[in-house]
Each structure stands twice: as structure tokens, then as C-alpha cells.
Structure 1
Amino acid sequence: MAADHWSGRTVLVTGVAGFIGSHFAEGLLARGARVIGLYRRDNRKVLAQLPATDRLRTVRLDLLDEAALNEVVAAEPDGVDAVVHCAALTGNAAFRRERPATVLDANMRTVSNVLGCARRHGTADVVLLGSGEVYLSATDRPTREEDDFRTFMKYAPDGYYLSKSYAEILAETYGEEYGMRVFRPRLTSIYGPRDNFEADTDRVVPRMFARAAAGEEIEIWGDGAQTRTYLYVTDLVDATLRMVEKDVHRIVNMGTPEAVSPIALARLVCGALGRPERYVLDREKSGGRPNRTFDLAKMREIADFRPRDLREGLRLTAAWYREHRMPPG
């Protein structure tokens, strides 16, 4: 059973006060693991939403401080069995374009520190959360894992894209030189409870939630015909942990086959919140590439469950949103 693999193990989770990191901590705790959660700040009060257990220890730490990271790992008498690296500097699209060096430098140094620390301390398994954004070149078919830097490599002044691409190259070379097991799930758009619903977010699902909850029109860029896929956050956690348990593939696309247009997504969000369907098209702005879908053959091979459909995932997200973000009444 999956729980048997993780029970009694010590797992270091970076970005534990963030959206995805908090769900990895929760999933590992449910499987009997002991979790050391690292965070830089908890400005969205995420830590209070995690289970109260002595198997969770949180440490405030800047991952750019390599010495501090090594001290935390070295202090574990029985060592750290696995690392799940979720922390990253992202920012909205404008920030990524305007400050590409800042984003690239911060993310590359944290990945380097995490990999170097794991190597020095003999950590068996490392998970680096990747992104579908490494597939900058469009294909006329669902994108395969091989359609990455090994096949296509382009420069773009986007610090996040660059950092995800170079982090994968660093992970690849660590595996080749040191024989490390570095697992790289590549994510489609992830959504769910504890996402970043702050006013400055440019993440599609949270932005739609905020607009619909406020009774405002949801703005959709382009003609609304482009399609994307969305994966519920706990399905990502479950599939990634199975990826480590089975150790069949070190790189796996994580997503669903359910591709929807932004118009369909807006309607589903409004329905989940019980709000009227209100959206407007801004044809002056680009909606991006017409579609982006993943080849999910490897994910189906390692994940012995079916990811929930978008309607169900949005219903669960809306339930959390009503409790934590919407004023009563």
C-alpha cells in the first residue's frame, strides 16, 4: 500500500506555507510520514490549516541560505529520506518579463542548494516540481516528455520559464554524475483549496473565483476558443507520490485529458459558486497558443486512480473558498 512506503519516513517539504507545498505536507502526514516543512513567510495563514501533529515540524528559512538548509538536514539524527521541493519565486507575467534575472537567479540557486544538500546528506529521493512551461515549442499533437530541452530549447526573456528549464538540466546532470534519484513531475495548471487568491494573482482559476464572488465580469483574453487542462491539487500529490513509490519514470507529465476553453471554465466557476454567468472577451489581448495538452501515458502508468473531473474539483474549491475567503451573509 502507498502508506507503507512513506510511514515512518522523514520528508523535507519546501514551500510548506504555499499552495502546493501545504498539500504535499498534508498528503505525506496522512501516509504516516514525518514532515519537516520549510517556509520563508506565511502571509496567507496556510500553516494554521495543516493538521496539528507532532509529526509536523515547520522551520522558517530562506532557501538561498545554503548553510541554514544544511543545518536543518544535518540536525536529523536518522537523516532525511526524501525532499519535495515546491518553493519557487514566480510572480505575475509582467514581473517575470521585467525581472527575468531576479527570478532565474533565485530559483536556480534554491534548486542548486536543495540538490547539493540532498547529495551531501545521502537523501534517497528528491522531487523537483516542474512545469509544462518548459514546453515552449508548440507541437501538432499532445506534448510528450521528450519534447523538452533534449529536443527543443529556446531562449525567452521569462525568468520562470528559464529557471524551470535550467533546473531540469541541473537535475538531469545530478542524476548522471551522482546517480541520484530526482523525480520531475511536469505540471499543467493546478488548482484547489489554499491557492493564491490574492488581488494581484494572475492565476486563471483564482482570478475567476475572485471576480465571480464579487459579482463582476470575468475577463477572458482573446476569442475564448483556446483550450487548457487543469489538475486538482490533491490528485497531483497522489500521482507524484506514486511516481516516487514505483520509480518507473523520473519525468512525468501531470494533467488530465479534460481540455476546456476559458469560457467553459468561467461558466463552471460561476456554477460552483452559485453566481450568474458573467464574462467578457478582450480580443485586444492575446489568449496564448490555441491549445496545450499533454501526452499522459506515463501518468496513467504510475497513477492507479482517475483524477477528479473539473466540475467536481471546482465544487471542492468553492466549498473551501466560501469558508476561508468569502464574508458571511
Structure 2
Amino acid sequence: MKILISGGAGFLGSFLVESLIKEDHDITVVDDFSTVKYHALPEKVKLIKGKIESTDLNEKFDYVVHLAARPSPEDYIQHPVETAMSNSMGTYKMLEITRKSDGVMVYTSSSEVYGSAEIVPTPETYWGKVNPNGIRSCYDESKRFSEALIMSYYREYGLDVRIQRPFNVYGPRLREDGSYGRVVSRFIYQAIKGEDITIFGDGNQTRAFLYVDDWVNATLKMMFLKSLKGEVFNVGSNKEMKIIDLASMILEMSGSTSKIKFLPPRPDDPPRRAADISKAREKLGWEPKVSVEDGLKKTIEWFREQL
């Protein structure tokens, strides 16, 4: 199959590309490398370096996967316009490519569309509780707009679109540095380096963590299974974990003597998050296979090798 992937050099994209290239698919990646640190694209992949919102392609593709985004809160707060553009004009560009190709589009949305959810674990039917003009709105609301635009193409043009909402995916290659650092990779890096483990707030906020291999498996099912036109799926775990407990687990598993340091809470940071995956179990035949302990072990080992 001929497949176009925006953001294919990033954390999620690189693992998806590796899996697809093993099946000898023809892969084209569009990426501007603005958030990429550990990029690992196979030689057979065609790379177009640039932003998807300013890329024009006349080729046709069987599958289009839109991953390009700035998903780290510290990063997208610093780059709100670029963040909103990839989830507006970028999504429009990918939809138009899909429509002209008569292909299938898979959009990687986010659990952020739920905001501070009042139902946890949260089902796909929950509409969300999001601040439309707050400091996180450049990401949260542009993801919600993308979903609205995608479903508009589905309803008006009959386009075969599928939307996934990942929940805190982690693993090797997830950036740990500066404003790009995500909670798992940042904690692991700090623990290995003997630095303070920095927690925003009191650490009682919860997240549900998904190892990247499980995300890839769900994404492949969403791409290639039939009869998923217009469907939306949570791709995550239903097992909540307090951030303070995550920090303690990483400290123990890494053998670190780092201390925990509490920082002021982030504005509009959701207090709880976990996925209701009933629909993914039923329609995709999918559920997470990798435990948090096993996933963290693999991720810690990878970061030790890098450092």
C-alpha cells in the first residue's frame, strides 16, 4: 500500500513507520523536525522535510495518517500558533489529499479533547470540558476542531475517516529535554542523572499510561480493518496512576537517589485521566498488553543506553 504519514519522524511516527516498512509498504513522511530528537527513519522511506500545512502533494495514497502535532504542554504553550496550525490547516491539507486519493485517513487526536473530564474512565461519547481560550486551548481546541472538520468531510463527502484519541503514550525515543519533556521520559532522565524529579502540583493527579508498542498495534488495526468509517476510538489504558506513584516507581526501578521536587501546578491541568476502552475491545479486538512495569523497564534501559 502507498501510505502518507505526517509527523512520521517523531516519537509515535517512527515506531509506526518501522512496523509498516516491514510489510513492504511504500511510505512517504512529511516532517519539519521541529519536535524531533531521536529520529530513526528507514532508508526506504521517502522524506519530505517541511510543515504539513505548507506542503503540496499531487500524489495519491491508499492511507493517510495525520500525526504531526506539538503534544508537550510546555512546548505548545510556547508555540500556540504553530500548534493550532498543524491541527487546522494541516488537518485540512491531509483531508484534501485523502479525498483526492479516495483513500482512508486516520487522525491522531488526543485525550486532551476531554479536558477536565467528569467521567473517568472516559468513554468516546463524553463531549469534554475544555477551556476554549485558556493557555492549553491552542492544543485542546485545535484537536477538537480537527475532529469536527474530519467528521464534516465524512458527512459531506463520505470520506473514510477514523479518529483515535491516545492517552499518555510513552516509550523509547520520547523526548525528555527542555520544554519537550513528557512526564515519563522526563522522570526517567532526571532519575538517571541524579537530578530532582520535578512534579507539577501535588502529584495526586492521575494519568493512564500506554506503551508505544500497544499504540502501534491499535493504529494498525484502525488503518486496515474494514467497516470503521467515521469511528472514534480511545487508545489508552483504563488503569489510573497517580503521578507521585509514577515518580516513586521510576526511582525504585532505576535505583536512583534523586529527590522529588514539587512545582506550581500547570493551569487547566486535568486532575484525572483514564480511558474507557470498551469500544476498542469490541470493534478492534484490542487492549493493552504491556504492563506499566514492563514498559518502564524497557524505556529506562533505552535511556541508559542513550546517556
- Give the TM-score of the pair, scaled to structure 1: 0.83
Q: Does 1:22 align with 2:11?
A: no
Q: Does 1:166 align with 2:145?
A: yes
SS of 1:64's equivalent in the other structure is helix
Query: Which one of 144, 150, 154 corresponds to residue 175 of structure 1?
Result: 154
Q: Answer whether contact 1:145 1:252 (CA < 8 A) is retained.
A: yes
User: Per-residue displacement from partner, 1:162-199 (whole Å, max 9, x unpaired)?
Assistant: 11010000001000111111111101111111111222
Distance 2:203 2:87 in 1: 32
Distance 1:29 1:102 in 2: 29
Instruction: Please tell me the residue identity of whatever aligns with 1:307.
Output: K
Q: Answer whether contact 1:130 1:186 (CA < 8 A) is retained.
A: yes
How far did 1:45 drift?
5.5
How far did 1:101 drift?
4.1
Q: Answer whether contact 1:64 1:106 (CA < 8 A) is retained.
A: yes
Instruction: Please tell me the residue identity of whatever aligns with 1:59.
Output: I
Which residue pairs with 1:143 in the alignment?
122
| Correspondence list, 1:1-329, <5 A | 9-41=1-33, 44=36, 46-47=38-39, 49-52=40-43, 54=44, 56-67=45-56, 70-71=57-58, 74=59, 79-90=60-71, 92-93=73-74, 96-97=76-77, 100-122=80-102, 124-148=103-127, 155-157=132-134, 158-249=137-228, 250-276=231-257, 278-282=259-263, 284-285=264-265, 288-301=269-282, 302-304=284-286, 306-324=288-306, 326=307
Cα 1:272–1:125 shift into 2, 3 Å:
farther
SS of 1:200's equivalent in the other structure is helix
Distance 2:94 2:262 in 1: 43
User: Per-residue displacement from partner, 1:120-154 (whole Å, max 9, x unpaired)?
Assistant: 222x21111010110125214421111136xx675
Q: Answer whether contact 1:189 1:231 (CA < 8 A) is retained.
A: yes
How far did 1:99 drift?
5.4
Cα 1:143–1:156 shift into 2, 3 Å:
farther
Distance 1:295 1:310 in 2: 17
Distance 2:126 2:239 in 1: 21
How far did 1:291 drift?
1.6
Q: Answer whether contact 2:66 2:106 (CA < 8 A) is retained.
A: yes
User: Per-residue displacement from partner, 1:306-328 (whole Å, max 9, x unpaired)?
Assistant: 4211111111111221222x1xx
SS of 1:319's equivalent in the other structure is helix
Cα 1:84–1:272 shift into 2, 3 Å:
farther
Q: How many residues align?
A: 301
Q: Answer whether contact 1:271 1:277 (CA < 8 A) is retained.
A: no
Q: Answer whether contact 2:165 2:232 (CA < 8 A) is retained.
A: yes
Q: Answer whether contact 1:27 1:238 (CA < 8 A) is retained.
A: no
Cα 1:286–1:64 shift into 2, 3 Å:
closer
Q: Answer whether contact 1:13 1:38 (CA < 8 A) is retained.
A: yes
Distance 1:135 1:179 in 2: 26
How far did 1:102 drift?
4.4
Cα 1:248–1:291 shift into 2, 3 Å:
farther
Instruction: Please tell me the residue identity of whatever aligns with 1:260.
Output: M
User: Per-residue displacement from partner, 1:265-307 (whole Å, max 9, x unpaired)?
Assistant: 112222343323631334x535944321221101222134542
Instruction: Please tell me the residue identity of whatever aligns with 2:148.
Output: I
Distance 2:79 2:20 in 1: 35
Q: CA RMSD in A?
A: 2.4
Distance 1:15 1:105 in 2: 14
Q: Percent identity?
A: 30
Cα 1:44–1:273 shift into 2, 3 Å:
farther
Q: Greater CA radius of gyration, 1 or 2? A: 1
Instruction: Please tell me the residue identity of whatever aligns with 1:18.
Output: G
Instruction: Please tell me the residue identity of whatever aligns with 1:237.
Output: V
Instruction: Please tell me the residue identity of whatever aligns with 2:3.
Output: V
Give the gaps of 5 or more residues in structure 1.
Answer: 1-8
How far did 1:66 drift?
4.1
